[in-house]
Amino acid sequence: MRILADWLHGPAATVVGILTAGGHQAWFVGGCVRNALIGGPVTDVDITTEAHPERVSDLARAAGLRVVPTGIDHGTVTVVADHQPFEVTTFRRDVETDGRRAVVSFARTMAEDAARRDFTMNALYATPDGAISDPLGGLEDALARHVRFIGDPGARIREDYLRILRFFRFHAWYGAPDQGIDAEGLAACAAHLDGLDRLSAERITAEVVKLLSAADPAPAVASMGASGVLWRILPGAAPDLLTVLVHVEGTAGLASDPMRRLAGLGGGTGRLRLSNPQAARLKRLADATPSDMGPGELGYRLGEGEALDVLALRAAGEGREIAASEVEQSRFGAGQTFPIRAADLMPGLQGPALGARLKLLEGRWIASGFALGRDQLLDTGA
């Protein structure tokens, strides 16, 4: 089988051409090959070769290309051609693993390189003209959208426990919608839950955010719940709402959003380490969803985007779709500006009394549907 893709030509072809002209093998590998087969987007084009990093660097520089030693200890250099970066990695094999990182040595064959990868659909290689090489049977799995560990799932997981989370993330992104998750892989994940405790919060967070960014992560998250993985990283999370939330998002035209979906799971941050903006947004959504703020006030206080997030979460919790009137009210509220300033109440009021009066008038203004003007608000009694 052969893939046809624009990225096989242009700068990518320049890099592999330099390697093959230097007497070496050069293959496209991993996600770019997988996604070209299944019709997914290709954002990164990775190249592998039996040439060592020093040789790759010498050949690239001799051809006038820039080389960045991004992962030189693990056999990876980045070659920049026509302002586009391409990671070029020497064939590798694992010498030692501890569940978090691997000590690797260079290998001579594609079969050795393939054996150290995680899933069969990631162990696919393509020649410079797109011909597929499939050393481990990943082609059939990729075409069937079947996410399956290479060899013994338990052994692959013990090499790097992050593969537990990657298993569910890959199923969410690349698994067939009408096909259940791989049973053998699921059982291995359930059997190795303790390994998750060895992972850093940063690695866990990155995987969870990617998983929840998929078009429909609900089936994968449900499987995480069934295996015990979900509660190991998000104690208290409830996956049942996620299926409804994804449906609500679709009917409302909302893009996939990991923080909205994390709020829908209701488990807080658990073992995640979110950025400050992510954590602040998650808290706003978690606080506003059960509040008594109407759509207009949501728009005024949170802005149109986050107001829609809250409306989606509320609708999902009530098993309905977002009403068009709710959207309109939130949009209207987002465009309003409170007409009273602190200076309007000074010098008669100061300190806490000033703050209390502003809050009271703001509440009256919101309750009026934002209809009361400045003079009307200032004329109202205490």
Placement of tokens 């050069």 in the chain = 26
What are the percentages of helix, strand and coil residues in the chain, rounded to 5? Answer: 55, 10, 35
Which pLDDT score is estimated for 107?
87
Of 144, 164, 193, the one marking the end of a domain is: 144
Better-predicted residue by pLDDT, 74 or 36:
36
- Rounded Cα gap, residues 288 and 182, in angstroms: 38
pLDDT tens string 112-169? 999 989 999 999 999 999 999 999 999 999 999 999 999 999 999 999 999 999 999 9
Q: Are residues 272 and 310 in the same domain?
A: yes
Q: Are residues 46 and 164 in the same domain?
A: no
Which pLDDT score is estimated for 381?
55
Q: Domain containing 202: what range?
A: 152-230
Q: Are residues 210 and 311 in the same domain?
A: no
At residue 341 the predicted structure's pLDDT band, cuts being 50, 70 and 90, is very high
Which pLDDT score is estimated for 327?
97
Residue 346 pLDDT greater than 70, yes or no: yes
Q: Are residues 130 and 245 in the same domain?
A: no
pLDDT tens string 212-234? 999 999 999 999 999 999 999 99
Q: Are residues 81 and 205 in the same domain?
A: no
Of 86, 119, 144, the one marking the end of a domain is: 144
For residue 245, give Cα distances in angstroms to 217, 218, 236, 251, 314: 11, 9, 18, 10, 9
Q: Are residues 248 and 274 in the same domain?
A: yes
Of 196, 230, 264, the one marking the end of a domain is: 230
Helix spans in 8-49 (H) = 11-21, 31-38
DSSP code of residue 121: G
- Rounded Cα gap, residues 365 and 374, in angstroms: 9
Number of domains in the chain: 4
Q: Are residues 81 and 192 in the same domain?
A: no
**Does residue 334 contact residue 298 with C-beta atoms inside 8 Å?**
no
Which pLDDT score is estimated for 106?
87
Q: Are residues 352 and 332 in the same domain?
A: no
**Does residue 248 contact residue 289 with C-beta atoms inside 8 Å?**
no
Pairing of strands 125-126, 92-97: unpaired
**Does residue 365 contact residue 338 with C-beta atoms inside 8 Å?**
yes
Which pLDDT score is estimated for 382?
45
pLDDT tens string 74-118? 899 999 999 999 999 999 887 666 667 666 788 888 999 999 899
Interhelix angle 324-334/295-318, nearest 10 degrees: 150
Placement of tokens 């053998």 in the chain = 184
Handedness of CA 294, 300, 302, 306 (dihedral sign): positive
